[in-house]
Structure 1
Amino acid sequence: MRQILTDGSFLIGAAIGSGSTAMAAQRGRADFLIALNAGRLRSMGVPSIACMLPVFDATTLTEKFAGEEVLPQTKLPVLLGVNVWEERLDVTQKAMSLQRAGFAGAVNFPSCMHYSHAMQHILARAGRGIEQEVAQLKAVQDVGLTAMFYCATRTQARLAADVGLDMVCLNLGWNVGGAQGHRQRETIEEVAVAVLEIGRLIKRISPKTRFLLEGGPIETADDLRRLLHLAPIDGYVGGSTFERMPLEVSVADQVDRFRHAGQRRDVLDDEGARLVAWGRPYGFVGHAKAHLNFLSRLKALSSAQGSVLLLAEPGLQTLSCLKALGSANGAVPSMVQIDVAGEDFPTRARSILFGSNDASLKRRPALEAGEGDLVVIFAPERLPAGTQRRLARAMRDGVFQTPGSRRPIPMARRVVLVSTASDPQAAGLDPSLTEVLRGWSIRVPPLRERMDDLLLLIQQMSIERFGEVIARDHFSADAMQVLTEHMWPGNETEIHALLGQLLDILGAAPTGQRIRRSDILPLLNSPEPMRDIGTEKDRIADALWRHGFNRGRTAQALGMSRKTLYNKIQKYGLTR
């Protein structure tokens, strides 16, 4: 039976619940193993805290898996979790049974230290309290085995030190982190104060006793390293940090890799492949269903002659769309761009479009054929109503007149109106302009509707704009879950901002370390997801109520522009 090191080296113990974890811990060079009912429950997918509930007999559960799975699979010393709550307890006989079974020693687990102060007093009066746990471990030590005492307070630590137990492990509480971990209540710096005080007490009473830590805010090796700079300890015991959290990450990552490999085998049908090939020269990437439907519509409009209403939410890039509408080979077409939102006076747009009879403003009208392949008007809803009606007549007739002239002038080949609305009726255009564009609108699918293309967009954007590749292998599975569940209200602009910050994280991380969930969450500005409460009208009404009818906050929560929200409020009659 191998004994735990006594040469003063830093000890690493692994509190486990299965034979497979025992073998893995041995390969990781753990110094000893601890077989606990909490570990077994973790392996069943149950939070560790369930070890204190009457769901299984702790003694039967622990002895069975430790004897059948752990001892045969490892050469490491194994300490067994024992409790003092049995109906007939003989501490000496219990210690001798551990020796016969081949265990290296014992720990007091499950322990009444996890109960309230009042409950501990009740158990103590019944002879089943902390004092009896210390007596059991002293008996284990007396037969030549190793005893480790879990404690939570200074008083409990003193009891163990007074009888000279081999090891005292200060339990800092149930572990934070992972899918089932508790929320962090204390920082590393805060717990270091208690660690320093209790450690000094133990060493003053029993210098040979080894002082270890487990649980609490220690989630990673870096956390332990930070604590060691603040308080000296002799070792660390990992439960969830060695068994549950690594399993959550590694299994999730491995399954995700295989899923990703399977997705790479997906083959587009002939029509889908032709659409992807057609869109590539213009800069389009992806093969999500919504994206392919969009490309099919865009291809049809690009080969026709007529003005187009392009609907693109904030943050969506429109240059590729304009290339497709204005050229046949992916080149940037010659464009006259008018951003009505950026004009000091929207009325100026009229003279830019149709010309002016003012000699000081004399210029060639933007709508005149030959000026450019495209006339692009951003925020067309801000044009004066009269200008919108005049533009509608020009689109319908194919000619227009400059102020003060009756000579008809042929229209430019194509006018593209770019709006951030989600549909033509919500674009806020004059009815005459809406009517002439009927059947000539196209909506760019927002990122939330084409999540299958997210990684392709991330990879392309990181290469084009930063000169470095950020691909699937850079993300852990839980990080990918965050990315795919995010609503992306800022669309491609939001991806660009995120990538700039992720490059800094990757540059500072150790080689091979993936981007984690905890890295990404602080970088995303997630709007509230729309609750499934019925129709769009119901969702908007619910969001308005929850945000005190503040339109700015409501629009952000719903992932839409203020203008779109305003139009929908008017449409559904939601004014107060």
Structure 2
Amino acid sequence: MTAATRIRIAETDTPFLIGAAIGSGSTGLAAARGGADFLLAINAGRLRSMGAPSIACMLPIFDATSLTEAFARDELLPQCDIPVLLGVDVWGGALDPARRASEIAAAGFAGAVNFPSCMHYPRPMQQLLSRTGRGIEREVAQLRAVQDAGLTSMFYCATRTQARLAADAGIDMVCLNLGWNVGGAVGHRRRASIEEVATAVREIGRLIKRINPRIRFLLEGGPIATAEDLGQLLRLAPIDGYVGGSTFERMPLEASVADQIDRFRHAGRRVETLNDESAGLLAWGRRFGLTGRAKAQLAYLERLRPLSSVSAPVLIHIGQGQDPMPTLRALASRTAGTPVLFQIDLAGEDFPARARAMMFGHADPAARRRPALGDPEIDLLIIHAPERLPNGAQRRLARALSDGVFRATGQRRPNSVAPRVALVRDGAHADSRDSDALDGLDPALSTLFAGTVLRPPPLAARIDDLMGLIEGLSEDRLGRPLHREAFSAEAMQALEAHPWPGNEAELQTILGKLRHPGSGQPIQRAELAPLLHGNADRPATGRSEKDRIVDALWRHGFSRGKTAEALGISRKTLYNKIRKYGLAD
């Protein structure tokens, strides 16, 4: 052991001590490079390195002494030039504290720490161990012997009584253990907030300093999972240092290795080289907002582009949360200049009688205006929810589209059908058939549209485009695009595995509720979990769905189209909910 490691840690002038409880030489070297003041060689660290949770250190699966000393002697002492404290327990047979202290010094350790400790056991178990001479009192005695040998000692405690015992003995450092660390793949769930534990920290810290002001008071574990958590606690309670176990070893390793592998996996994905035809197809689609290069998207563009150059009527079958407008703009693109789109929405503000009058003209001469079907200034007539038209109106529309002419209401002279007609229906799924899009339509109308059904691919069928969509939508929502580096590997895997029943609208909603990662910390899976599992729109006030719909209708001037967009649902879904809750009147 070098002279540097012989320095008593508690007597240094370092204002805030950082200890790292680790289980391998590589982690020890990394901790030293990061500026740790000392290392703890404990069996929990070794078990973490083996993939087990920290709590496994209290199970009878390995001898703590031999397990700890072996890796500390072979991996830490030969390589690390900062002090190493050895974890010792008092549960063996005959124990001579002075002899054990001499052995620790001879091996080259800077001192010792009571670990594993009976403080992790329930109180009845602690009392039983104390009666047999293997309790907290014996742990304090062993650490006092270590100090008497000129080394440093650190005492883990969990209660006020245990802290007083160590302070009375003059132990160099007292570390209040707040429980097993939360977070990570095998971490515990958070049981107490930073504010809640700060009260106990202040109380125990004041007790220790009253007994012996020279003792360094440190913390470890519990709700402190990040540096930000520690900073928050320091604003509430004064401490002299922090010891990191899972926070320095398990959780960073889980994140960094996973993220690194994910980056390499992503970099290794073969990006298929597009031929000239496919590249031209993608460029054409981008003009209308049809982005992405997934196979399903390319197949859709291959079907859409030929239909954009003809005047045949088309039926578009969209899923919940899909926007039909890019497809509609593409269908109207055969017109030079900016095309005129006229929309009739039977799932929104337009009722069947009004829709029929808008298409075929009004019977009242005073209200008569040019019917949309015969208006040459309209390039694309769009009818949303055509299944809500009465069968008679559907048959009339089918005849007009089939013959190319129609008689306006109240007129005998035939009119030519001027605009192209597109029907838009909600409710498509990735595995639905064309016949599903035609259900509910009059046979005359369904026969006419049977060969021209378009179904934009759902987001679940084009996951390869997910990251590109996130970058584009986040720029609109957050003012800056979120690139892949903004998400941890687990978060990205969760996004890619999600079925996306709400398609792009669901993605927009989730992005709008995410924090903007300005701190440089990637978005974690835990942050996405409640959003991906349907809690994104659950109000904190506990308001009912009916209340939220009424509120949204008021805020958007009872415009059902705008209300549906704000709620992240389709117009058809909103229409059904309005009927369900009796809000139609």
Tell me if the contact between 1:375 and 1:412 (Cα under 8 Å) persists in the aligned partners: no
TM-score, normalised on structure 1?
Answer: 0.86
Residues 357 and 204 of structure 1: is their aligned pair in 2 closer, same or farther, counting only changes over 3 Å? closer
Matching residue's letter, 1:144: G
> Aligned pair 1:10/2:22, yes or no?
no
> Aligned pair 1:385/2:397, yes or no?
no
1 CA distance for matches of 2:140 and 2:475?
62
SS of structure 2 residue aligned to 1:213: strand
> Aligned pair 1:453/2:465, yes or no?
yes
Q: Counterpart in 2 of 1:220?
A: 226
2 CA distance for matches of 1:380 and 1:452?
33
Alignment partner for residue 50 of structure 1, among 56, 65, 80? 56
Q: Counterpart in 2 of 1:546?
A: none
Q: Counterpart in 1 of 2:333?
A: 327
1:38 Cα deviation after fit: 0.8
The unaligned stretches of length 5 or more in structure 1 are: 529-551, 553-558, 568-576
2 CA distance for matches of 1:125 and 1:330?
94
**How high is the sequence identity, in percent, across the aligned residues?**
62
Q: Counterpart in 2 of 1:248?
A: 254
Per-residue CA deviations over 1:107-152 (Å, capped at 9, x if unaligned) read 1111111111111122222222111211221221121111111111
Tell me if the contact between 1:487 and 1:527 (Cα under 8 Å) persists in the aligned partners: no
Alignment partner for residue 176 of structure 1, among 182, 187, 203? 182
Relative to structure 2, which stretch is displaced further, 481-490 or 217-226?
Answer: 481-490
1 CA distance for matches of 2:161 and 2:242?
21
Relative to structure 2, which stretch is displaced further, 26-35 or 384-393?
Answer: 384-393
1:93 Cα deviation after fit: 2.2
Tell me if the contact between 1:323 and 1:330 (Cα under 8 Å) persists in the aligned partners: no
Q: Counterpart in 1 of 2:562?
A: none
Residues 87 and 76 of structure 1: is their aligned pair in 2 closer, same or farther, counting only changes over 3 Å? same
Per-residue CA deviations over 1:5-29 (Å, capped at 9, x if unaligned) read 5226211101101111111111111
Residues 266 and 255 of structure 1: is their aligned pair in 2 closer, same or farther, counting only changes over 3 Å? farther
Matches within 5 A, 1:496-515: 496-500=508-512, 502=514, 505-506=516-517, 509-510=518-519, 512-515=520-523
2 CA distance for matches of 1:355 and 1:205?
94
Tell me if the contact between 2:335 and 2:379 (Cα under 8 Å) persists in the aligned partners: no
1:52 Cα deviation after fit: 0.9
2 CA distance for matches of 1:158 and 1:203?
10
Residues 302 and 365 of structure 1: is their aligned pair in 2 closer, same or farther, counting only changes over 3 Å? same
Q: Counterpart in 2 of 1:128?
A: 134
Q: Counterpart in 2 of 1:291?
A: 297
1:63 Cα deviation after fit: 1.0
> Aligned pair 1:19/2:19, yes or no?
no
Alignment partner for residue 155 of structure 2, among 108, 129, 149? 149
Alignment partner for residue 425 of structure 1, among 403, 417, 436? 436
Tell me if the contact between 1:282 and 1:330 (Cα under 8 Å) persists in the aligned partners: no
Tell me if the contact between 2:317 and 2:455 (Cα under 8 Å) persists in the aligned partners: yes
1:464 Cα deviation after fit: 6.0
Per-residue CA deviations over 1:151-178 (Å, capped at 9, x if unaligned) read 1111111221121111111100000112
TM-score, normalised on structure 2?
Answer: 0.84
2 CA distance for matches of 1:343 and 1:257?
48
1:450 Cα deviation after fit: 1.7
> Aligned pair 1:98/2:104, yes or no?
yes
Matching residue's letter, 2:36: A
Tell me if the contact between 1:421 and 1:564 (Cα under 8 Å) persists in the aligned partners: no
2 CA distance for matches of 1:162 and 1:464?
61
Q: Counterpart in 1 of 2:80?
A: 74
1:76 Cα deviation after fit: 0.7
2 CA distance for matches of 1:560 and 1:450?
20
Tell me if the contact between 1:12 and 1:235 (Cα under 8 Å) persists in the aligned partners: yes
Tell me if the contact between 2:347 and 2:575 (Cα under 8 Å) persists in the aligned partners: no
1:77 Cα deviation after fit: 0.2
2 CA distance for matches of 1:254 and 1:393?
62
Per-residue CA deviations over 1:81-106 (Å, capped at 9, x if unaligned) read 11112234332222211111111111
SS of structure 1 residue aligned to 2:287: helix
Per-residue CA deviations over 1:39-98 (Å, capped at 9, x if unaligned) read 111112211111111222211211111111111221010011111122343322222111
Tell me if the contact between 1:212 and 1:235 (Cα under 8 Å) persists in the aligned partners: yes
Residues 183 and 465 of structure 1: is their aligned pair in 2 closer, same or farther, counting only changes over 3 Å? closer
1:415 Cα deviation after fit: 0.8
Residues 90 and 251 of structure 1: is their aligned pair in 2 closer, same or farther, counting only changes over 3 Å? same
Q: Counterpart in 2 of 1:440?
A: 452
Residues 214 and 462 of structure 1: is their aligned pair in 2 closer, same or farther, counting only changes over 3 Å? closer
Residues 111 and 183 of structure 1: is their aligned pair in 2 closer, same or farther, counting only changes over 3 Å? same
Q: Counterpart in 2 of 1:543?
A: none
Tell me if the contact between 1:323 and 1:332 (Cα under 8 Å) persists in the aligned partners: no
Aligned residues: 533
Residues 112 and 270 of structure 1: is their aligned pair in 2 closer, same or farther, counting only changes over 3 Å? farther
1:278 Cα deviation after fit: 3.1
Matching residue's letter, 1:410: S
SS of structure 2 residue aligned to 1:322: helix
The unaligned stretches of length 5 or more in structure 2 are: 536-548, 550-567, 577-585
Residues 499 and 435 of structure 1: is their aligned pair in 2 closer, same or farther, counting only changes over 3 Å? same
Q: Counterpart in 1 of 2:534?
A: 527
SS of structure 2 residue aligned to 1:338: strand
> Aligned pair 1:263/2:269, yes or no?
yes
1:218 Cα deviation after fit: 0.8
SS of structure 2 residue aligned to 1:342: coil
2 CA distance for matches of 1:470 and 1:119?
51
1:517 Cα deviation after fit: 4.0
SS of structure 1 residue aligned to 2:490: helix
Residues 220 and 465 of structure 1: is their aligned pair in 2 closer, same or farther, counting only changes over 3 Å? closer
Alignment partner for residue 475 of structure 1, among 487, 495, 499? 487
Question: What is the CA RMSD across the aligned residues, in angstroms?
Answer: 2.7
2 CA distance for matches of 1:25 and 1:436?
72
SS of structure 2 residue aligned to 1:282: coil
1 CA distance for matches of 2:302 and 2:379?
22
Residues 41 and 562 of structure 1: is their aligned pair in 2 closer, same or farther, counting only changes over 3 Å? farther
